[in-house]
Amino acid sequence: MSTFAALWDSLLPIGRDPATGGYRRFCWTPAELECRAWFETTAAERQLRVAADGNGNLFAWWDVSNGGPAVATGSHLDSVPDGGAFDGPLGVISAFAAIDELRAAGFQPARPIVVAAFAEEEGGRFGVACLGSRLLTGAIDPDSARGLRDGAGITFADAMLAAGHDPAQLGPDDDLLGQLATYVELHVEQGRALAGLDAAVGLAEGIWPHGRWRLDFTGRADHAGTAKLADRADPMLPYAATVLAARQAATELGTLATIGKVLAEPGAANAVSSAVSAWLDVRAAGPGPLDATLDQVLTAARAAAESQQVAFEWKSESVTPAVSFDAELRGRLAAALAGQRIAAPVLPTGAGHDAGILAARLPTAMLFVRNPTGVSHSPAEHAEPADCAAGVTALAAVLRELAG
Ligand SMILES: [Zn+2]
């Protein structure tokens, strides 16, 4: 069995919901702590030195004496609710497997290689995507991170403390960043561009600007059997209109807008809701269409709420500007891959990644592995074993180029 297959099989059962087949690896929950233990064991088996930073990000170091700053690679181990097996773990597993390949070939790095697993990349528990890398780079204030709450009201600080990590240590770490020369993240493609190109791997051009907004509609709870329609202040109605408005705005403006999370209070089948909260996700090729989409959705939400005597409030939870990955680094990777006869087309993406956050502080690049259906954030997410193997070979070539 290849080392990739063995690593894949060892991580696969952790945090999988038997009913849906999807993953629930939320930051600081038992399933995610088991993923962290897997990371530490996997690193120890390879004599890699594991060090967590103050933000709960994990690093496994292949140390080299007097080697200068390291080549970092990796991804994340947390998941969205009922996420697929590949989003995140593919990059971490491929990193360990690429190190195995390099060692089997007798490669001696001239500079350290470090495998990273960033915390709360999906924002699946505390709402802010790429929280670990944002904290590391200073893109989010540690106090606001400590105060973020999950659906049960538990703060990030308390969850971290319960998992044995000191939340007082949260915050930017310039020392650690200074030890990293580059970061190359391998990730399953979250789209179908490669499927049409006859290429197993691609290189990322950049990441679309994107953001998440919380929309709160507050009405009045009432009896579903006795309250007359005209007397109701039903927040479900403007919420529903907003879902449709988001689709319409995205269609008109050539963007992506999604409402994928909704909470209704009190959540009774025989009652008019008192409040509905929904989360809007917008992604676009540029900041203009992004803002236009948000404006159009908010205008529609406001009008629909007003017409139903429902209060409407909204707030931004995270907004990430467009990211262009380092062109020189990408060129170097493309040349190294071409030298191995690996064709790697350059692709844009609407998905956010830690590499996009780290790009503010160091040259970063991304390798995508073909996803035949393009489906992601779903148990149906997939990549063929041969394409995963091609990804490991490509990543090994990249590490050889950057750390040789
Ligand atoms: Zn991911």
Tell how far the Cα of 117 is from the centroid of ligand 1, in angstroms: 11
Model pLDDT, residue 320:
85
CB proximity list for 206: less than 8 A, separation 6 or greater = 322, 323, 324, 325, 348, 349
Supply 364's token pair. Answer: 């970063």
pLDDT in tens, 268-284: 999 999 999 999 999 99
Tell how far the Cα of 51 is from the centroid of ligand 1, in angstroms: 22
Three-state SS at 356: helix
Supply 339's token pair. Answer: 């030298």
Q: Which DSSP string corresponds to 336-347?
A: HHHHTT----EE
pLDDT in tens, 133-167: 999 999 999 999 999 999 999 999 999 999 999 99
Cα-Cα-Cα-Cα dihedral sign, residues 299, 302, 305, 309: negative
**Residue 290 · residue 209 · CB < 8 Å:** yes
**Cα–Cα distance, 154 to 172 (Å, whole number):** 23
Residue stretches of the chain with pLDDT short of 50: none
Tell how far the Cα of 78 is from the centroid of ligand 1, in angstroms: 8
Tell how far the Cα of 394 is from the centroid of ligand 1, in angstroms: 19
Model pLDDT, residue 350:
84
**Residue 372 · residue 384 · CB < 8 Å:** yes
For the chain, report the end-to-end CA distance as a whole number of angstroms. 28
Surface-to-core class of residue 311, CB atoms within 10 Å of its CB (0-12 exposed, 13-18 middle, 19+ buried): middle
Model pLDDT, residue 1:
57
Model pLDDT, residue 67:
84
**Cα–Cα distance, 349 to 331 (Å, whole number):** 18
Tell how far the Cα of 167 is from the centroid of ligand 1, in angstroms: 24
pTM: 0.86
Tell how far the Cα of 100 is from the centroid of ligand 1, in angstroms: 23
Surface-to-core class of residue 46, CB atoms within 10 Å of its CB (0-12 exposed, 13-18 middle, 19+ buried): middle
**Cα–Cα distance, 304 to 54 (Å, whole number):** 45
pLDDT in tens, 326-384: 999 999 999 999 999 999 999 988 888 999 999 999 999 999 999 999 999 999 999 99
Tell how far the Cα of 7 is from the centroid of ligand 1, in angstroms: 18
Tell how far the Cα of 190 is from the centroid of ligand 1, in angstroms: 9
